[in-house]
């Protein structure tokens, strides 16, 4: 029995993030004692076709800016959050966010703390944020910040500053870098390839697959060994759908992203990527 009060706002948040029904969302939150991520897994284990947990539908408001250094060897993406779209769509607020991104590039800030201590026209970013908060009456701040370094970094901003992507490549390839960044923006892969998927993500998917199969009457009588083999097959499908290089290339579905990169340059590789979205 849940010991946490489940509010209508909690239910609506889960419903918006997953697309599941209201009563199913209430049940999921009750069964998981209000744990949002566990509730998503609970719905999936019940066979619910829910939206990916990385969905941007519950995005808070703000502006995402992606930048690179002049030599394209370092990339920066910063999300400046606010409370309403009235503010986020305001040209002055967008310019404010861009000035903070410019400060990140100018000072090569390594993390959020360094960015907050960076200066813009002699004033610290943290102080400028406090001043902006006071002037517009909304809570704002550096909600997310990422930095990557590589022989070549491509940047991309999607959807009126709602999502930013950095792609780290092993060599210069401007057009391919932009294409891959757009791919990442559209399909939100969990990793570059199967080998770089975090172990906890793999185990989570495996557990969901096995529990779902055990609940399926068609799987009755199958041994744990057989279920394990079937699960591995399903995990391979997961890797194909959710890892960048294995995904079908959005501009040409007849080839994978890996095949597209090879067609551009046999030695071209994606070292890493960062995708920052509102929410």
* DSSP string across 127-148: HHHHHHHHHH-S--EEEEEEEE
CATH code for the domain in which residue 43 is found: 1.10.8.10
Same domain, 68 and 134: yes
CATH code for the domain in which residue 126 is found: 3.30.479.20
Which residue range is the domain that position 27 belongs to? Answer: 1-57
Q: Is residue 255 part of a domain?
A: no
Quote the number of domains for the chain: 2
Find out whether 172 and 72 touch, Cβ atoms under 8 Å: yes
**pTM > 0.75:** no
CB within 8 Å of 159: residues ≥ 6 apart: none
Q: Among candidates 209, 201, 48, 207, which has minimal Cα distance to 39?
A: 48
Q: Which one has a higher pLDDT value, 183 or 204? A: 183
Tens digit of each residue's pLDDT (9 = 90 or more) over 25-82: 999 999 999 998 899 888 878 776 665 544 443 337 999 999 999 999 999 999 999 9
Question: Per the structure block, which two tokens stand in for 186?
Answer: 């559209």
pLDDT score, position 49: 62
Domain end residue (candidates: 57, 73, 99)? 57
Domain end residue (candidates: 166, 185, 213)? 166
Give the span between the Cα atoms of 179 and 251, in whole angstroms.
8
Tens digit of each residue's pLDDT (9 = 90 or more) over 195-250: 998 888 888 888 888 888 888 887 887 877 887 788 888 888 888 899 999 999 99
CB < 8 Å & 24+ apart, contacts of 131-136:
132/93, 132/96, 136/82, 136/87, 136/93
Q: Is residue 16 part of a domain?
A: yes
pLDDT at 103 exceeding the cut of 50 = yes
């Amino acid at each position: 029995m849940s010991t946490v009060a489940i509010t209508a706002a909690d239910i609506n948040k889960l419903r918006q993030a997953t697309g599941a029904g209201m009563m199913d969302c209430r049940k999921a939150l009750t069964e998981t004692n209000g744990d949002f991520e566990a509730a998503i897994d609970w719905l999936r284990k019940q066979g619910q076709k829910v939206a990916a947990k990385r969905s941007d539908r519950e995005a808070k408001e703000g502006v995402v800016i992606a930048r690179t250094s002049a030599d394209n060897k370092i990339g920066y993406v910063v999300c400046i959050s606010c409370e309403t779209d009235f503010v986020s769509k305001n040209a002055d607020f967008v310019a404010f966010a861009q000035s903070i991104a410019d400060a990140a590039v100018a000072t090569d800030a390594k993390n959020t703390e360094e960015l907050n201590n960076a200066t813009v026209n002699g004033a610290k970013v943290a102080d400028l944020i406090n001043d902006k908060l006071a002037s517009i009456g909304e809570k704002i701040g550096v909600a997310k910040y990422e930095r990557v370094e590589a022989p070549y970094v491509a940047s991309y901003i999607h959807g009126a500053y709602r999502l930013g992507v950095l792609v780290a490549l092993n060599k210069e390839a401007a057009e391919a870098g932009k294409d891959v960044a757009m791919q990442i923006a559209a399909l939100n892969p969990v990793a570059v390839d199967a080998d770089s998927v975090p172990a906890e993500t793999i185990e989570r998917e495996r557990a969901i697959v096995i529990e779902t199969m055990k609940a399926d009457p068609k799987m009755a009588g199958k041994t744990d060994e057989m279920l394990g083999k079937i699960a591995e097959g399903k995990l391979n499908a997961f890797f194909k759908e959710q890892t960048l290089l294995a995904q079908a290339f959005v501009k040409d579905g007849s080839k994978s992203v890996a095949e597209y990169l090879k067609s551009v340059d046999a030695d071209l590789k994606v070292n890493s990527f960062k995708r920052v979205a509102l929410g």
